[in-house]
Structure 1
Amino acid sequence: MGEESVDRSEGFGERLLGLLLDRARQLPPQLIAPLVAEEVARIGGRDLSILLQDYAQELLVPLPGRKLRVGQPEPMADSPAGQAFLRADVVEVPQAAGGVRMYLPLLDGSDQVGVMAVTLDAVADDDRRLLGRLANLVGDMLVTKNAYTDQFFLARRREPMTVSAEIQWSLLPPLTMSVPQVSVAGILEPAYRVAGDSFDYALNDNILHIAVIDAMGHDLDAAAMATIAIGAYRHARRVFVSLAEKYAFMDDAISRQFGPDHFVTAQLIHLNVATGEMELVNAGHPAPLLIRKNRVVRQLESATTLPVGFGGEPPQIREHTLQQGDRVLCYTDGIIEEHLAGGELFGEERLIRCVNRLSAEPSEGVRADLRRLSHTLKTERGGRTSDDATLFMIEWCGGAADHLAVLD
C-alpha cells in the first residue's frame, strides 16, 4: 500500500475504531489479535506484536495468534518495549532495513496491560494519534476478553504456578493505579509460589482505601485465609466507614472460620487524596516507610494491634499527614526476614539503604520504581525469596480534583 494512499484522517480513524469495537464485541478471544492486525494493516502497519507482562514482572511475552509477529520475550529492563511499558509512553525505533518500529503501551485505565508493537514506513502525528487511540482500545478489549479465556494467562505464565498462587493472583486488583492526586503500585514475590500475601485498594470519592495482608503459613491454608480476609475487607469497605470497623469485621471472619490458632497480619489505610491526611492501623506488620525528597525520613509507627483473628481490642488508629510528593512503602516481613548466605537477616536497615539509593535516581513512575526496588532487593538477598514478600507503594501528589475536565 503506497504511503500516499493511506487515509489517516480524523474521520477515518473514528470509523476504523468504531468498526473494530463493533466487530470485537462478538468475537471469541483468540480472534481479537488477528482482527487488530487487520485494522493496523489498513493504515500501513505491519509485523504487529502484542506483548503481555509475565507474572514476575521481568519479561514482556508475545501473545501467539494468526497474523501476529511472535518473537522472543523482551526484557522489561533495557528494551524499547520495556521502556514503553514502564513509562506508559510511546517509543519509536528506526529500523536498519527501513521504517519505524512503534511500541505503544496498552493501558486499562492507568494500569499497564502490555505493549503493542507495529512497524510503519514512516510515522507522522496522524499515525501517533490514531495508533495511540487504537492501543487504548486494544488494552480495554484484552482486559474484557481475559474474563472469558485462559489464553492470556497462559501467555503470561513463564513457569509452573502453585494452586495457592493461582488463588492469590485471582484476588488482586490491578497492580497499578494512577490519577492526578495519587498513584499506587504493588508487587508479589515469589510470583509463582506466593501463598498468604495479598493487597487490595479502592478509590471512593476522596478516600483511598488500602489493605496489605499476610496470612500465616505457606500453603493452601494461607491462601484460603487470605481469600477470606480480603473478601471480608471488601465487604466491610462497602458497608462501613472506619478502619476500626474494617479490622473488627476481618477479625471476626478469620476467627470464626479458622479458630484461635490462625491469624492474618494486616495494614489498613485510609488516605484522603485531597488533603494528604492518612489513618493507619498496623496489625502485626513492619511499620511502613515514609519517603520524602528521595530519602526515608522515618517509619510510620502506630499503636500495637493484634493480628486479625485473635479477637483483640478495637485497634488504635494512628494519624499522619503527608506532604505533596511523599511516598509510603508498605511491605510484609518476608522482605526483611530473609536469611542471607551467611545466615544474617536481611533486616530493615539494609532495606532502607536500598530504598534511599534507588530513590536518589531519576524516577520513572511508581510502577517502574517499585519494580526496580523489588528486583534490587531480590538481588541483594542473593536471589532468594523463601517466604512471601510483598511491596506496596503509595505516592501522594495532592491537590483538589476540581480542575479535572468533566464531561456533560
Structure 2
Amino acid sequence: MTDDANKLLPRILVVDDSVVERNLFVHMVAKWGYPVEFAASGQEAIQLVERHRFQLVLADWQMPGMQGTELCVALRQLDLGQYTYIILMSAQNDEEFLIKALDAGADDVLTKPVDGNELEARLQSAVRRIELQARLARKTNELAHAHDVIAHDLRAVSGLQRSFLPEAQSPFQGLNYQWLSVPSKYVSGDHLQVFELQRDVYGFYLLDVSGHGIPAAVKSMQLVQMFADRSATSIVFEGRLGSDGQRLVSRPRDVVARLNRLFQQTESDLSYFTMIYGVFNTANRQVSLCQAGHPSPLLLSAGKPANVLGRGGYPVGLFDFDDFEDIELTLGNEDALILYSDGVTEVLSASSEAFGEKRLLDFVNQQSSQGRWSDLPERIQMRVQHWGGSVIEQKGFEDDVSILMLAPRPGVLDQRDVVDADRQVPELVFRLQEIQANVPSSLPAKAGKSIVIVDDSRSFLRIFEAMLHSWGYTVHSAKNGHEALALIEKHQPDFVLTDWDMPGMSGIELCEQVRAQKQNAYTYIIMITGYASRDDLLNSLRVGADDFMTKPVNPSELKVRLKTAERIADLHTGLERRHTELSQLYEALQRDMREVSRIQRALLPKSKQYPWPFAIQTIYQPQGYVCGKQMGLLETQANEHGFFMLNMAGQDTATALQTMALARWFSMARATRVLFPVEETSSKIRRYLASPEQVLAQLSSISPSLKDEPPQFDLLYGLINLDQGTLLVAGIGDWAMVMAQPGFAPAFLGTNGEPGQALGVGQVIYQA
C-alpha cells in the first residue's frame, strides 16, 4: 500500500464499540500507512467527521445507540464540502443486509471476520476514487482562484468604465436623458456620454467597438479619453475662435472624420467602430448628428409613429475616405431621440431568430402610443431579455447593449429613482462569470446514465439489457473486451459491467486498458464472475475495478450497487462539469488578456536601426499580461525625435487601459505640438521642450482623472536633435535616467543633474 513513500493517504476514522476490534482495525490500517483515529460510537463519529472532515470511515454495523446504517444516513446529510467514503463491517452476509446497507449510503460492505487482504484492496479502490476527486477539486479550485484574480481585475475596469458614463440625473438645463448600458462581459466595447461643449450647446455620442470584452474596451477607453479632452487640441473643437471669442464647436461629421483618420485599421489592429455623434443646442432645440455605420436613431413625436433617421453611413476606421454626412433636425416640445447599439436588435430567440429592427420599432411605437416614455430604455431591455429567454437569463447578452434617450423637456422623460448600479451592470452580466462561487461541489446528476455490459454469454446480455433498460439506463452490449473498448471510446459510459472470464481479453485486462486512458478515469467498473477466486477479484480492485459481484447476480443487489455507483459518479461528473465550465470561461478571459497585451505592445516603439547616428532599443517586461507603463517615439521633423515614458501606479488592467489611452494621445501629432512646440520667433522650424507645468495643465484638461494633486503618474519626455547635437529632457513625478557617453563613466542623473537624487515635479533634468 505504501509503494510511494511520499504519497499522502487520506485519514481513516474507525468506528466500533468493541475496544478489541477497534484496536485491531486501527493497528491494521496504520500498518498500511494511513493516518487513523477512532470513535467508540456513531454520535462521536459524527462529531469527529464534522470537525476533521475524514474522507474514509470504517464502521461497525452493530453498535449501541446508533447502528452503522443510521450512521451512514446521518453522514450523508452533513454538508462537508467533500465526499466521505463509508465502508460498513458486519457479521451478517446475507443479501438483504447488503442491500439495506448500500441503500442507507454505504459505499462498500465487508463481512466479519474481515480478511486483511480484502480490506486493503477495498481501501485502495476507495483511495483511487478519493484521489481522483481531490485532484480534480484541487485543479478546479486553482482555476477558480486564477479566474478570480482576473475577474477582480476586470471588476476594476468595469468600475473605471462606469465612472465615465453620464450622471444618473441630467445636470443640464433644457436637456434631459435616460440611458442604459449592459456589457456582455465584465467590460464593454460600447460607450455613451452626454457632455457640455459650451453654454446651451451639448455633445452626445453612442459608440460600439467591434468585438467584445477587454480588447473592445481598450479602444472604447481611448475614444472616451478623446471625447473627455477639452484642451486646445480637442477633436470636438475647431482650432480657431468664433466672432464671440469662444472656441468654435466642430460639426459632427468633422469630428467623425478626424476619428476616422486617427483610427485607421492596421496590421496589428483590425478593429473598427460604429457611432452616432451629435450636437444639441438647447436654445433653439436644433440637433446635428452624424451616423457612422451605427443603427439608425429613432425620433419619437407625440401621437405619431417613430421616425427612423439616417441612411446608415459606414464604420469609423474601415475606409480611408471621410465622406460622412450630418443629419439636421429640430426637436419639438414633445419629441425625444433614441440611440441604441446593435446588441439590442441582434438578441436571438430560442429558435435563433434575431429580435430585429422591425420588432424594436413596433415595440417603441406601442409604448409611445400608451404614453410610456419615462422608462423606455428599461422597457426595451426587458423586452429583448424576454425575447432571448433562458439563454440570456443564464449567460447574459451575447453583445453589449446600450440605449440613450434624449429629450428637451423634463416632462417627456420623468426622472425616477431607479437609476443605480444595477442599471449599469445588471446582475445577470456577472452570473456566469461568478460560477466558481455559486456552483456547489456536487451538481445534479445528468439524466439517463449509460452502461456498457460485457459478457460472452448472449443470454446474459439479453437478460441484463432488458433489466437495465427497465431501470432507465442506456445500454450498450459487447461480446468481448475488444468490442467493449470500442464502445467505451465511442459512448464514454458512466458504468462498465464486465464478466471476469472471456475469450481473447479477460475482464481484468479490459479493466487495465480502460484505466490506461485518462478520459476513463471516472468510469465506474463492476466486475461480475462465478469462477474467479477471491484473490483474483481483489486483484481486480487493485488494477482499477470499483466493485465486484458474483453470479448468479441478484437484481436487487445490482440495483443498489448501481445506485451507490451513481452517487459517486455524480460527484465526479459534477466536479468535472464545473471544471470544464471554469476552464472555458478562464480560457476566454485569458484570450482577452493576451489580446490586450498584444495591443499594448503594439503601441510600443519598435527596436530598429535608424540612419546613423540614431538607434533605438526597448525593453518591456510587465509582471503580468499588462502594466501601467508605456513609452513612445515621435519623429517631429528630419533628424529630430521626441520620446516619452509614462508610468501609472498599478499592474491591473484598469491602469493599463488608462495608460494606453494616454499613450495613444501622446503618439499623435497634436500631442507633439503640446510637448514640443515650435519657436515662433525663429525663421526655421525649431522646437523647444514645453515645461512640465504646461504639459501637466494640458493633461489635466485632456482627462479629468489626471487632475489629482500630486499627480498619480510619472512622465519623462525629451527631444533629441541630431543636427544640433542637443538632448532636452523633462519630468513629472519620480524619474531618473542614465547617461552613457564614449570616454565617460555612466552617470545617473536626477533632479538638476545631481546624481542619486529623486526627480521633482516640473524639473528639466538634463540639457546638453
Structure 1 length as normaliser, TM-score? 0.52
| 1:346-357 correspondence runs (5 A) | 346-357=355-366
Counterpart Cα distance in 2 of 1:228 and 1:277: 29
In the alignment, which of 187, 207, 210 is matched to residue 204 of structure 2? Answer: 210
Larger Rg: 2
Q: 1:379 to 1:303 in 2, by over 3 A?
A: closer
Match among 384, 399, 406 for residue 387 of structure 1 = 399
Q: Secondary structure at the match of 1:255?
A: coil
- Unmatched 5+ residue regions in structure 1? 1-158, 399-408
Instruction: Tell me what 1:44 maps to.
Output: none
Alpha-carbon separation, structure 2, partners of 1:233 and 1:162: 23
| CA 1:266–1:230: 2 relative to 1, 3 Å | same
For 2:258 and 2:361, the matched residues in 1 are separated by 33
Shift of 1:326: 0.6
Displacement of 1:388 in angstroms is: 0.6
Name the residue aligned to 1:81. Answer: none
For 1:364 and 1:347, how far apart are their aligned partners in 2? 21
User: What residue number does 1:239 align with?
Assistant: 237
How much does 1:269 deviate? 0.8
- Give runs of aligned pairs for residues 308-387 of structure 1, distance below 5 A: 308=317, 310-363=319-372, 365=374, 368-382=375-389, 384=392, 385-387=397-399
* 1:168 is aligned to 2:166: no
Whether the aligned pair in 2 keeps the contact of 1:167 and 1:223 (CA below 8 Å) is no
Q: In the alignment, is residue 273 of structure 1 matched against residue 282 of structure 2?
A: yes
User: 1:262–1:301: structure 2 CA closer, same or farther, 3 Å change rule?
Assistant: same
Question: Do the aligned residues in 1 keep the contact of 2:348 with 2:387 (CA within 8 Å)?
Answer: no
1:181 CA displacement: 1.9
Render the CA deviation track for 1:193-229: whole Å, top value 9, x for unaligned. 3420001121331222111100111121100010112
Shift of 1:259: 5.5
Deviations 1:94-130 (A, max 9, x none): xxxxxxxxxxxxxxxxxxxxxxxxxxxxxxxxxxxxx
Q: Which structure 1 residue ranges, 4+ long, deviate > 6 Å from structure 2?
A: none
Report the CA distance shift for 1:179/1:258 in structure 2 as closer, same or farther (over 3 A).
farther
Separation in 2 of the partners of 1:202 and 1:169?
15
Letter in 1 for 2:253: A
- 1-side partners of 2:210 and 2:267: how far apart? 11
The counterpart of 1:187, out of the listed 177, 180, 186, is: 180
- Could you tell me how far 1:180 is from its partner in structure 2? 4.8
Deviation of residue 231 (structure 1)?
Answer: 1.7
Distance 1:363 1:297, change over 3 A: closer
1:251 matched to which residue of 2?
A: 260
Residue 182 of structure 1 deviates from its aligned partner by 2.0
Measure the CA separation in 2 of the matches of 1:255 and 1:176: 36
**Residue type matched to 2:382 in 1?**
H
CA contact 1:263–1:308 (8 Å) conserved in 2: yes
| CA–CA separation in structure 2 for the residues paired with 1:279 and 1:227 | 24
Aligned partner of residue 162 in structure 2, secondary structure? helix
Instruction: State the distance in 2 between where 1:251 and 1:167 align.
Output: 25
Using the alignment, how far apart are the partners of 1:243 and 1:316 within structure 2?
Answer: 8
Q: Report the Cα offset of residue 160 of structure 1.
A: 10
- What is the distance in 2 between the residues matched to 1:174 and 1:242? 25
User: 1:343-393 deviations in whole A, cap 9, x for unaligned?
Assistant: 11110111112212222334473xx33223322332233262211111010
- Select which of 301, 307, 310 maps to 1:301: 310
Q: 1:197 aligns with which of 166, 190, 202?
A: 190
8 Å CA contact retained: 1:260, 1:309: no
1:339 is paired with a residue whose SS is coil
Q: Give the whole-Å Cα distance in 2 for the aligned partners of 1:377 and 1:303.
A: 22
Per the TM alignment, residue 238 of structure 1 is displaced from its structure 2 partner at its CA by 5.3
Is the 2:297–2:339 Cα contact (8 Å) retained in structure 1?
Answer: yes
Q: TM-score, normalised by structure 2?
A: 0.29
Say if 2:300 is the partner of 1:288: no
Distance 1:397 1:244 in 2: 26
* Pairing partner for 1:228 from 218, 222, 228: 222
Letter in structure 1 aligned against 2:342: D
* Alpha-carbon displacement from aligned partner over 1:150-192 (angstroms, at most 9, x marks no partner): xxxxxxxxx9965653443233232441545221121111476
Taking a change above 3 Å as real, the CA distance of residues 160 and 364 of structure 1, as seen in their structure-2 partners, is farther
Aligned residues: 238
SS at match of 1:177: coil
Higher RCO, Cα 8 Å, sep 6+: 1
Q: Which ranges in structure 2 are unaligned for 5 or more consecutive residues?
A: 1-151, 239-249, 411-768
Higher normalized helix content (fraction of residues): 2
Contact 2:185 2:212 (C-alpha < 8 Å) held by counterparts: no
